[in-house]
Chain A
Amino acid sequence: MLPAYFDHNATTPLDERVLQAMLPFFRERYGNASSRHEYGRAARKAVDEAREQVADMVGAHPSQVVFVSGGTEANNLLIKGAAAQCLPSQIAVSAVEHPSVTRPAQELREQGWKVRRLAVNAAGRLEMDDVETALRESATGLVSVMLANNETGVVQDVARVAELARSVGAMVHTDAVQALGKVPVSFAALNVHAMTISAHKIYGPKGVGALVLDKRLDIKPQITGGEHEKGLRAGTENVPAIVGFGAACVLAASRLTELSLQFRQMRERMDQGLRTMGAVLFGDGAERLANTSYFAIPGIDGETLVMALDRAGFAVASGSACGSGGTDPSPVLLAMGVERELARCAVRVSLGRDNEMSQIERFLRALQGEILGLKRLVAVAV
């Protein structure tokens, strides 16, 4: 029997309706969207429709949607592409960004860019004072702040950051991969120049994402070789995945309010239960995605607990999937001022559409059991 899945920030199952939308494009409607014959035209039409669906979900114009292979690529395209079109200055990124933002930013140092980390408080929210300071102390060409953090779920006031960034003439980008489908996301309202989104966090397929881009912003393409995506991203369009992304957006938009409510109820029960067990809740008090509960039981190693929970029938995570190769504590938690020892105890629960309250109850019971068991072991070992 498979574990109950509580790791939706890592990835989500494909919605059945998304699968049905995609299947014809593997089977009969397999044309290359750039081919001029009927097979190609049908594929092109499907891509255009999906582009509209994605644009609709984020309040953008279809011409502003650039399809790429995923969130990582979109972040790389924006950061490297925008930086290439202006003289090196300062790039300001929050201290809690995903590696697909921090790593490209670091790469810019080789071209003479300075990387400035924007501080967060103990709850994981950006210190606006520090943002203002950063923008004042150095000419800043680019600012990137994620809308919602994948580990803590904490939501940033991106619109405010965008206002500040624009006031000094900086380009501003937000990684909205975790936020999409969980909170309303409006490209226009956020007032950013660019925004990253991905399909596989909203019950869509892996392998496709988009950079939503104000086309007045000049960016240098990173993958060249054909005029696809108006010259911004070469490569045969992944029609089934793009169609799936569109379908997933339509579904996610229609369910957003209902899901949020569901999550809120379950998460409230989760947090309450965790508190009684003496857990530290990261991001508690800050505006957070309703599905995410990031906690630590002091003294209990996160990796160990996560393995025990897996054996007990619950799939969770310690730190982000992308970073769970190493044994270093989460840079996000460290940036929040969490002690290394406590950060190493971090466990993330991220709920999804199919989770139910009964699973939450079972989880809390199991967690309590595992904690007692592990504490006994620790006691014996000492």
Chain B
Amino acid sequence: MIKQPIYLDYSATTPVDPRVAEKMIPYLTEKFGNPASRSHEFGWDAERAVEEAREQVAALVGADPKEIIWTSGATESNNLAIKGAAHFYKSKGKHLVTVMTEHKAVIDTMRHLESEGYEVTYLMPETNGLVDMEKFKAALRPDTILASVMLVNNEIGVIQDIAALGEVCRGKGILFHVDAAQATGKVTIDLAKLKVDLMSFSAHKTYGPKGIGALYVQRKPRVRLEAQMHGGGHERGLRSGTLATHQIVGMGEAFRIAREEMATENERIRYLRDRLYKGLSQIEEAHVNGDMEQRVPHNLNISFNFVEGESLIMAIRELAVSSGSACTSASLEPSYVLRALGRSDELAHSSIRFTIGRFTTEEEIDFAIDLVKAKIGRLREMSPLWDMFKEGIDLSTVQWAAH
């Protein structure tokens, strides 16, 4: 018996891995000390656990533990990196570059800087979701201080060529920030080799707890930031506030598991995702959003033409999926990421993001395929647009009259 709804929304959040929960709980209960308490075992114990977790996070991404700063999540990390760097280096210039398909945490932060007098260039990606290198280079100016490009996109799962983009930035002395919230445990990240100055991490996308993230701040060459949260001076003055030991321990353990299991897990997930794709691509007028090659194995984002988006989501409610990113699903606007790929409003609205994960089974995938096929069939039966399409009418030539 499959538990319903079937969870296929791993990019919105992941369950805490039982091994992570087990490791965390003692730090909620007996080992509850404040890691900043220097005067007793409760504090020392907690501090030790925090430093061990820092090493585990660093190990997954090829960084030095000293380069890992704890934050409350990737949203905060993005804010700290972008505002922190922009403010610190404002005497060098006030221009930044990013991509239209970034997470809101980056886009809104960039907008905030614009209101402070900074200038931002928002690049359009190609229709496959990838950033074009020549367009990226062309956007960089002598007064550009920072570029921000996410490693893996949350909606379409495409993987940007961070290594190449980083080389370009380093060559021009421009700071390079990468939002890797969706990337950990899915693609290899080696900051020892990558020319990346700042990288944001989230725990709850990698089977860790919510409420904790990290920011990689490079030490060689040294990157400076203006702190955004002031107080007791924690995290070398970069981020004040009592460290939540249990959350940090959870993130460390989650990242340790990711490092050990990523390779085999990805194989299994790729098999499941490809199975899902094979099943769904049998549906007529199903269009994959984003490049299939440069894509994480967990993500399948498909638009089903001639099906109304809201009806579709309702029809497949036995599946917990997403249309548009969770963070913006309060509004009924079409996904800005899909619009940036050139999708029409209708196609953007009728897209479903399936993201599978550690606990997804083949049975669940097969159920999903059958369900989606059946429901799409039914919805299209009722759709006059579908009838017209089947009759060969080019809908773009139709002049619609208002009632």
Contacts and interface: CB of A to CB of B under 8 A. Distances in A.
Interface of A: 2-3, 5, 7, 10-14, 16, 19, 22-23, 26-28, 30-32, 34-40, 69-73, 75-76, 98-100, 103-104, 106-107, 200, 205-208, 222-228, 234-241, 303, 306-307, 310, 315-318, 320-325
**Which 8 A-B pairs have CB atoms at the shortest separation, nearest pair first?**
A225-B105, A238-B211, A322-B232, A207-B244, A100-B231, A315-B40, A69-B72, A72-B241
Nearest to A10: B34
Contacts, number: 263
Contact of B229 (A13, A72, A106, A227): A72
Interface of B: 5, 7, 9, 12-16, 18, 21, 24-25, 28-30, 32-34, 36-43, 72-73, 75-76, 78-79, 103-109, 111-112, 204, 209-212, 228-234, 240-247, 313, 317, 319-322, 326-330
A224 B112 CA distance: 8
Nearest to B25: A19
Contacts of A98: 231-232
Contacts of A206: 34, 242-247
A334 B32 CA distance: 31
A99 B320 contact: no
Contacts of A100: 230-232, 240-241
Most buried by B among A35, A75, A76, A318: A35
B330 A324 contact: no
A14 B39 contact: no
A19 B320 contact: no
A7 B37 contact: yes
B330 A316 contact: no
B320 A73 contact: no
Given A76-B228, A227-B330, 10 more contacts: A22-B28, A30-B16, A40-B320, A69-B244, A205-B28, A206-B34, A236-B75, A239-B210, A310-B40, A315-B39
B343 to A, nearest CB: 20
A324 B36 contact: yes
Contact of B211 (A19, A241, A306): A241
Contacts of B211: 69, 207-208, 238, 240-241
Most buried by A among B14, B37, B241, B327: B241
A358 B130 CA distance: 68
Contacts of B240: 72, 99-100, 103, 322
A290 to B, nearest CB: 21
Contacts of A31: 9, 12-13, 320
B328 A11 contact: no
Contacts of B36: 10, 321-322, 324-325
Most buried by A among B15, B28, B106: B28
A2 B72 contact: no
Given A39-B5, A39-B7, A103 B231 contact: yes
A215 B403 CA distance: 42
Contact of B327 (A7, A34, A208): A34
Contacts of B209: 26, 238, 240
A104 B76 contact: no
Nearest to A69: B72
A11 B327 contact: no
Given A36-B313, A205-B246, A12 B43 contact: no
A104 B230 contact: yes
A71 B317 CA distance: 39
A208 B246 CA distance: 12
Contact of A316 (B40, B204, B229, B231): B40
Most buried by B among A11, A37, A205: A37
Contact of A72 (B232, B245, B246): B232
B28 A14 contact: yes
A105 B230 CA distance: 9
Given A207-B212, A225-B78, A2 B15 contact: no
A12 to B, nearest CB: 7
A19 B28 contact: yes
Contacts of A23: 21
Contact of B43 (A303, A321, A323): A321
A235 B230 contact: no
Contacts of A37: 5, 9, 317, 319-322
Contact of A240 (B109, B210, B322): B210
Contact of A3 (B40, B108, B210): B40
Contacts of B43: 10, 315, 321
Contact of A237 (B40, B105, B210, B229): B210
Given A69-B241, A103-B231, A107-B230, A39 B75 contact: no
